[in-house]
Chains A and B, each alone.
Chain A
Amino acid sequence: MHHVVLDRWGCGLSPVHRRDPRAKMLAALIFLVALATSHQSYLAVSAVYFALLVTAIFAAGLPPAAVLRRAALVLPFSLVFAAMSVASGDTTRAISLVVKSYLSALVVLVLVSTTPLPQLLGGLERTAVPRFLLLVVQFLYRYLFVISEEAQHMRAAAAAKGGSMGRVISRRRHFGAAAGAVGVLFARSYARAEAIHLAMLARGFAGHFRPLAKSSFRKLDAAFLAGAVAAIVLLRAAIEAWT
């Protein structure tokens, strides 16, 4: 599955990886807002921002082609709406939809592939986001691959028993079998959650995860944040003043 890629990218040791998650998150947020609110000369702004992101990708030692390709996951959706905008005569909007959605996906991707999700959520925990929600997100991400694998096993088992032969069994039966499979998956997930909870209690879970390395906001992080924000804001301002 392609998630493994993201986790592998996330455990790099580049200077970008080592910055405090909060500094990176804030920089990404300001990037997103600056991009979303630029209108008149957004194309020039986007080009410069793209260059900034490519610089970040190289600084982080990420494989550029793979990262750019993965951010393109957003394009099918954008292209449909862009086509609709073109059909109703709004070509400017069509280009802006594609460019802005791609760049926004790219900046989030760069953030997530230089910051493992647990660190990212740990950084969010120091803000006002409800901790309960973050814990649920942590668990979701942790067990996503476990439960998905279970679903894959069930699908393979069903196929081995002839479940994939749509012509042989009626569509109605097939529908019922799929519903049964989802039901079984639900019951297994439920039982697994109970077992996990008991195991956590047995290990003395106190209501929050303890990160292995305590991250602290250092001068270098502040410098990174200041530099990133200055680049984002000043470049946009310069382009808008110039055009």
Chain B
Amino acid sequence: MHIPDGFLSTPVWATLDLAVVPAVGYFARRAQGLEQSKVPLLGVMGAFVFAAQMINFPVGVGTSGHLIGAALLAYTLGPAAASVVLTAILVVQALVFQDGGTLALGANVLNMAVIGLLAGYLPYQIWGGGRWRRPAIFLGAMLSVMVSALLALSELLVSGVAMPATALRVSIGLFMIYGLLEGAITVAVLGALESMNVGFLRVPEASVSHRFKWVGLAAILLATFGALIASAYPDGIQRLTSEIGIGSHGRLRISTPLANYEAAFFQSGWLRKAAAGVAGVVVIYGVCALGGRILGRQRGK
């Protein structure tokens, strides 16, 4: 789900744009550090993901789905390179195909190319080398779709886009179907790739700190399925929070800075508003540039 501009509230898109800068810089450095031949490979594989979406997979009666590709890229190119490819795809989609916003690019990159991708890679990293490889591929591909869709949905809800409970349930059901389909397609495509050339798949090296990854995967599963359950019983959650008393506090904490920010802006004169807007752009640019430079220098050493 690509969020267009105009959907997210200013604090949400501005925060996510800032948050995504160090992540993209880090992944770009990591992917670049591996080999020089990476640039054409990553670009062409991005084009491959676009083209692969033309090949339809039969799903039900008269309907068809297609590969989304985040997990497939992560298992073949590695997570850092896959993140760069996905970011590039999102940039091209936003600029050339009017699919996804420009200010919302940070949100879309974070949902799909950073968090969704990592969530999809984690099961493969844990089980990808052993007996549970195929279930891990399936689970990872499914998670990559569902986590990014749920993130997008929650960003929209935080921004105040209202959705009736039934519509919310239907869309989450759809995401689940997309997730299952992506899992099935990814397993089938990787099977085909392995029968051609075993070298395409990266086998994750056995690393030491498995406990950390287990905790991470447990957190992702808990959050994903917690969100599903919460969407099925929204009233129950609301009652629970109001009974415990965190509901009012939580809402207050989320909404105050935004309310003050907007009030402070809109009651002042137009000159101050304009100055504040320009200052905001300059500050955002400064922070982005500085963050990029610092990260670049650290990685360059």
Residues of A within 8 A of B (CB): 3, 6, 28-30, 32-37, 39-40, 70-71, 73-74, 77-78, 81, 84-85, 87-90, 93, 96-97, 99-105, 108-109, 112, 117, 120, 127-130, 132-133, 135-144, 146-148, 150-152, 154-155, 166, 171, 174-176, 178-187, 189-190, 192-194, 196-197, 200, 233-234, 237-238, 240-241
Q: Is the CB of B98 within 8 A of A105?
A: yes
Q: Which of B37, B48, B296 has the most CB of A within 10 A?
A: B48
User: Which residues in B have their C-beta under 8 angstroms from that of A186?
Assistant: 48, 52, 72, 76, 189, 193, 200
**With A84-B167, A136-B88 in contact, do A175 and B58 touch (Cβ < 8 Å)?**
yes
Residues of A within 8 A of B91 (CB): 133, 137
Closest chain B residue to A113 by CB distance?
Answer: B96
- Beyond A132-B39, A133-B84, A139-B40, whether A73 also contacts B96 by CB under 8 A is no
CA gap between A109 and B42 in the complex, in Å: 26
**Which residues of chain A are near B87, meaning CB under 8 Å?**
133
Tell me whether chain A's interface is mostly helix, strand or loop, or mixed.
helix
Contact residue among A28, A137, A152, A175 (Cβ-Cβ distance under 8 Å from B57):
A175
Q: How many residues of B contact A (CB 8 A)?
A: 85
A175 touches B188 (CB 8 A): yes
Instruction: Give Cα distance in the complex from A103 to B7, angstroms.
Output: 12
* B contact residues around A180 at 8 Å (CB): 192
Complex Cα distance A34/B270, Å? 13
- Known A139-B42, A155-B55; judge A32-B85 contact (CB<8 A): no
Please determine whether B191 and A179 come into contact, CB atoms closer than 8 angstroms.
Answer: yes
For A190, give its contact among B25, B45, B54 (CB under 8 Å).
B45
Query: Is A85's CB under 8 angstroms from B98's CB?
Result: no
Contact B25 A130 (CB under 8 A): yes
Judge whether A185 and B58 touch: CB under 8 Å: no
Tell me whether B274 and A233 are in contact (CB under 8 A).
Answer: yes
Q: Which residues of A contact B189 (CB under 8 A)?
A: 179, 182-183, 186
Binds A, one of B28-36, B115-123, B128-136, B142-150: B28-36
- Over the window 12-51 of chain B, the binary record of Cβ atoms lying under 8 Å from chain A Cβ atoms (1 yes, 0 no) is 0100000000001100110110000101111111111011
A/B interface sample: 9 pairs, CB < 8 A: A37-B10, A74-B4, A85-B162, A97-B7, A108-B98, A133-B84, A137-B88, A178-B55, A189-B45
Q: Report the bound CA distance from A92 to B192 in whole Å.
A: 50
A112-B43 contact, Cβ under 8 Å, with A36-B13, A85-B161, A182-B189: no
- Chain B positions within 8 Å of A, measured between CB atoms, are 2, 4-7, 10, 13, 24-25, 28-29, 31-32, 37, 39-48, 50-52, 54-58, 67, 72, 76, 84-85, 87-89, 91-92, 94-99, 101-103, 156, 160-164, 167, 184-185, 188-189, 191-193, 196-197, 200, 262, 265-266, 270-271, 273-274, 277-278, 280-281, 285, 288-289, 292-293, 296
Determine chain B's interface SS by DSSP, over half rule: helix
A74 partner residues in chain B, CB cutoff 8 A? 4, 98-99
Q: Is the CB of A6 within 8 A of B45?
A: no
Q: Closest approach, in angstroms, between the C-beta of B109 and any C-beta of chain A? A: 10
Shortest C-beta distance, B282 to chain A (Å), equals: 11
Question: Which A residue's beta carbon lies closest to that of B62?
Answer: A166
Q: Return B267 CB to nearest CB of chain A, in Å.
A: 11
| Complex Cα–Cα for A132 and B81 (A) | 11
Q: Is the CB of A178 within 8 A of B37?
A: no
Query: Which residues of A are found within 8 Å of B72, using beta-carbon distances?
Result: 186
Report chain B residues within 8 Å CB of A40: 266
Chain A residue numbers with a CB within 8 Å of B188 are 175-176, 178-179
Q: How far is the CB of A211 from chain B (nearest CB, A)?
A: 17
Q: A130-B296, A135-B39, A178-B55 are in contact. Are A84 and B164 (CB under 8 A)?
A: yes
Contact between chains at A182 and B52 (CB < 8 Å): yes
Interface centre among A74, A96, A171 (most CB of B within 10 A): A74
Known A171-B58, A180-B192; contact A117-B102, beta-carbon cutoff 8 A: no
Q: Are B193 and A84 in contact (CB under 8 A)?
A: no
| Beta-carbon contact of B57 and A178 below 8 Å | yes
Q: Which residues of chain B have C-beta atoms less than 8 A from A174's C-beta?
A: 57-58
Residues of B within 8 A of A30 (CB): 277-278, 281
Partner of A136, one of B42, B58, B99: B42
